[in-house]
A and B are shown apart, each in its own frame.
Chain A
């Protein structure tokens, strides 16, 4: 039943991909993803997984090579971060449009400029509309579990979409955490061998990546959108199966002490754990605080969100990125529009926190809850702790 290990999370993510017996890895190194790249190549060069590791010359080529390999019917993993993800941006929507279930491990990091190698979500947010399924892991265990789940969800015939698994750079990637690493036999039972819908081979000729005229383009986009929207059913199915086999439960939005909550924090990624402690502290002080942790960012779990916010008076939504010149943080704007049509909806305040690796401590979350309890901010959103 798996083995409890202490392992750096970046390395654990590569180990999880190895358990999925990928055929090809195409990875370009970038901080803080580099340990993923290095460990994947260790695994291949030590012969622990029979695979080709392509030492591409850029992230653009990393995803391009991943697409080429996935086109042949190979199980493919890639990984990146920050500028690398932005550099891939031309190819991201093509991977999903071509319906190739590539898995990408993203060590989330701020984007330039100024250049900054530390964690926030400003890399993935501009890429949210590229048609990928997006998981957000909160800790090392979730990184491992979600990496394995990602292959199963993406490869499902009802889905056939690429999946990115987001883990906060440094905050997660470089932490040594206790992780239950599933064993090979368990993963084999959970994840069947990949049978592609189509593959580039002369025995069954296919043309992939054809031209869509105006008469076709809209229908093609509709088809991709429906596939992504409907994939939530498969995500939930796969998570149920995971829970049954491995005993660890996954939900699109995980609620923490929200039953009678007056104010609830909303987090995505590793800050959920700090926020939990803040909620416990506040509860001790008699503040009815709660927490919602988003684990599935795309497709966005609109229905689950509506259920999760029942009875909550104020939502204090934290974002790790800015939509410059827009309505605030991308997570908050999603939540606002999700709840707009609800007859009874909570008041929503938006704090943008932890930009470029800025530390966010328990007291900060407690302060955010206390301020949110008073309702509206003086501005539509606040960059928390900014000097000036």
Chain B
């Protein structure tokens, strides 16, 4: 079923406001909320994936070489990953820096 992203008219609103585009919330980028962002120091990283599993946005992904990075389109800068990383391989830096 096709649907327009943003309905201009009532005729374009789906019956029952049903949404047929699973996962489409990703069109909205929460990265703009962020005051701080995580930086990985891969030398310290043990590739355990704790940062991946604890991210409420699911925006930490594993790279081809087994390290991790955050998709800054979605990272809200909560700091959980840095706080939970036991070898302290992640630190939070101010957005302006």
Q: Return chain B residues, CB-CB under 8 Å to A198.
A: 1, 16, 18, 20
Query: Which residue of A97, A219, A226 has the most chain B CB atoms within 10 A of its CB atom?
Result: A219
Q: Beta-carbon contacts of A200-229 to B below 8 Å, as 1s and 0s?
A: 000001111110100010111011001100
Q: How far is the CA of A209 from the CA of B14 in the complex (A)?
A: 11
Query: In the complex, are the beta carbons of B9 and A99 less than 8 A apart?
Result: no
A97 touches B16 (CB 8 A): yes
Do the beta carbons of A216 and B7 come within 8 Å of each other? yes
Is A74 in contact with chain B by the CB < 8 A criterion? Answer: no
Whether B19 and A207, one on each chain, are in contact in the complex, defined by CB atoms closer than 8 angstroms, is: yes
Interface residues of B in 1-50 (CB under 8 A from A): 1, 7, 9-13, 15-20, 22
What residue in chain B is nearest A208 (Cβ atoms)? B18
Name the residue in A98, A205, A222, A223 with the highest tally of chain B Cβ atoms < 10 Å from its Cβ: A223
Chain B interface size band reads 10 to 19
Give the shortest distance, in Å, between A140 (CB) and chain B (any CB): 34
Chain A residue at minimum C-beta to C-beta distance from B24: A207
Residues in B whose Cβ lies below 8 Å from that of A210: 17-19
B10: chain A residues within 8 A (beta carbon) = 218-220, 222-223, 226
Q: How far does the Cβ of A231 sit from chain B's closest Cβ, in whole Å?
A: 13
A318 to B42, CA, bound (A): 82
Q: Give A198 to B11 CA distance when docked, in angstroms.
A: 18
- Closest B residue to A217 by CB, please name it: B17
- A300 to B: closest C-beta gap in Å: 21
Contact between B19 and A220 (Cβ–Cβ < 8 Å)? no
Task: Tell which of B1, B13, B16 touches A98, judged by Cβ atoms closer than 8 Å.
Answer: B16
**Bound: A219/B15 CA distance, A:** 11
Contact of B17 among A100, A212, A226 (CB under 8 A): A212
Shortest CB-to-CB span from A107 to chain B, Å, is 28
Set of chain B residues within 8 Å of A160, measured between Cβ atoms: 15-16
B95 to chain A: closest CB distance in Å? 28
A40 to chain B, nearest CB (A): 26
Contacts of B13 in A (CB 8 A): 216, 219-220, 223
Write out the residue numbers on chain A whose beta carbons fall within 8 Å of the beta carbon of B17. Answer: 97, 209-210, 212, 216, 220
Nearest CB in chain B to that of A218: its residue = B10
Min CB gap B91→A, angstroms: 36
- How distant is B21 from chain A, measured CB to nearest CB, in Å? 9
Separation of A153 and B57 alpha carbons in the complex (Å): 44
A198 to B18, CA, bound (A): 9
The reply to whether A206 and B15 form a contact with Cβ atoms under 8 Å apart is no
Query: Within the assembled complex, what's the spacing in Å between the Cα atoms of A223 and B10?
Result: 6
**Contacting residue for B15 out of A205, A207, A216, A227, CB 8 A:** A227
B1: chain A residues within 8 A (beta carbon) = 198
Contact status A207-B22, CB under 8 Å: yes
Using known A-B contacts A197-B15, A219-B13, A220-B13, determine if residue A206 contacts B7 with beta carbons closer than 8 Å: no
| Bound-state Cα–Cα, A209 to B18, Å | 7
Q: What is the distance, in angstroms, from A93's C-beta to the closest C-beta of chain B?
A: 12
**Distance in angstroms between the alpha carbons of A161 and B58 in the assembled complex:** 38
Inter-chain CA distance A293–B9, complex, in Å, is 38
Chain B residues 36-77 with CB under 8 Å of chain A are none
Most B CB contacts (10 A, CB to CB) among A99, A205, A207, A210 go to A207
Residues of chain A having any CB pair with chain B under 8 Å: 97-100, 160, 197-198, 205-210, 212, 216, 218-220, 222-223, 226-227
Pairs A–B under 8 Å by Cβ, sample size 5: A197-B15, A206-B19, A209-B17, A220-B13, A220-B17
Given contacts A219-B12, A220-B10, 14 further A-B contacts (CB under 8 A): A160-B16, A198-B18, A205-B22, A206-B19, A207-B19, A208-B18, A209-B17, A219-B7, A219-B13, A220-B13, A222-B10, A223-B11, A223-B15, A226-B10
